[in-house]
Homo-oligomer: A and B are copies of this chain.
Amino acid sequence: MSYKSGRHFLQIPGPTNVPGRILRAMDRPTMDHRGPAFAEMTKEVLSGLKGIFRTEQPVVIYPASGTGAWEAALVNALSPGDRVLMFETGQFATLWQRVAERLGFDAELVPGDWRSGVKPEEVEARLADDGGHAIKAVCAVHNETSTGVTSNIKAIRKAMDRAGGKTGHPALLMVDTISSLASIDYRHDDWGVDVTVAGSQKGLMLPPGLSFNAISEKALKAAETSGFRQSYWRWDDMLEANENGFFPYTPATNLLYGLKESLGMLNEEGLDNVFARHDRLAEATRLAVSAWGLEVLCRNPAEYSSSLTAVLMPDGLDADEFRKLVLERFDMSLGNGLGKIAGKVFRMRHRAASNELLMAGTLFCVEKVLSPFRANSAQVPGAGPFVSA
């Protein structure tokens, strides 16, 4: 039984449902990417992006998926065979490690339980053991899209600083913010990140197709001696062309229109207000999960994500079966469990074009499909009026 109503509800962690205002901004004639109007737009979005990354340092934009920006971070600042330390916080950390391996890195994936963030003390211990500075980079995923667990980037930086003696360990800190940028508080400069990796289709509310690197001075310096033979991802070409508002190859012009609009929307609301909204919706979601007698995948409240929540299904209930019921009954897509936790969790986004009304509606739909499976639903608090109907 499918209730069609002209509006599918995309409640997966990403891509985000794109606001009409951004869709319309992209629905415009492609302009000459070598002309003066284009250069002006480039400068505006590059400047606006700095505010979002909270950095004074350069940000580059690739016409590519976030996966490309992972690769870009690695091949610009490091050399083949370099040792990099990565942390198995979930599916995307695992995939990033796989990219690193394919690129020829000695990429260690420190095992994790997919329910916790990177442990700063573990970072510190590893680096302290690395007196020879063989480790060239520490790579962490700020917000694991597959688990709804965040890692404390600021604490990781401090751990790295403590580990290396007086001057700190020289490894670069690379951070994936694909599902955290413009979603939860993130500070490229203050937290001492060297390369921040991001994408268009999450907190920036755009369709996929753009990705980003924010680059510290130290990373730029490291890039000068990179041993990689590469071309598309080169920071130097990009930065040189960006200087005048252009790109070294054809940019994804219409997605840039959307980016300009997105930056406008984020600024209108105010980034801190955006974060506060996400925090509020995330907390409401966790309260609902708890009221349902279910468990949030993330173990540590300090690591809860305001970008999305992954919910553990009770034993005997297949999460994908459950998601299918929700889709059929309410025309709403929930996020699936990925990798190790496939079939065991479903995920709900609270980020981006969301609000109280949509979040309450989302929780209602989940609750309705969930109810018959609960042994004693009558006793469960929170049986709202539309639920008991």
The residues of A with any CB-CB pair to B shorter than 8 Å are 3-10, 12, 14-21, 23-24, 26-35, 62-68, 71, 80, 98-99, 102-104, 199, 201, 205, 207-209, 229-232, 234, 248-255, 265, 268-269, 273, 277, 283-284, 287-288, 290-292, 329-333, 336, 353-365, 367-368, 371, 381-389
CB distance from A326 to the nearest CB of B (A): 10
Asked if A18 meets B30 with Cβ closer than 8 Å, knowing A357-B361, A384-B383, the reply is: yes
Number of copies: 4
Measured between alpha carbons, how far is A232 from B66 in the docked complex, in Å?
10
The answer to whether A385 and B361 touch across the interface, beta carbons within 8 angstroms, is no
The answer to whether A207 and B253 touch across the interface, beta carbons within 8 angstroms, is yes
Residues of B near A388 (CB, < 8 A) are 287, 381-382
Query: Contacting A232 at CB < 8 Å: which of B67, B201, B359?
Result: B67
Query: Contacting A333 at CB < 8 Å: which of B21, B35, B230, B355?
Result: B35
Measured between alpha carbons, how far is A311 from B216 in the docked complex, in Å?
45
Query: Contacting A64 at CB < 8 Å: which of B28, B64, B230?
Result: B64
The answer to whether A230 and B102 touch across the interface, beta carbons within 8 angstroms, is yes
Measured between alpha carbons, how far is A172 from B252 in the docked complex, in Å?
30
Residues of B near A99 (CB, < 8 A) are 231-232
The answer to whether B367 and A356 touch across the interface, beta carbons within 8 angstroms, is no
CB distance from A301 to the nearest CB of B (A): 15
| Chain B residue at minimal CB-CB distance from A22 | B6
Residues of B near A333 (CB, < 8 A) are 32, 35
The answer to whether A361 and B356 touch across the interface, beta carbons within 8 angstroms, is yes
Residues of B near A208 (CB, < 8 A) are 30, 33, 63, 250-253
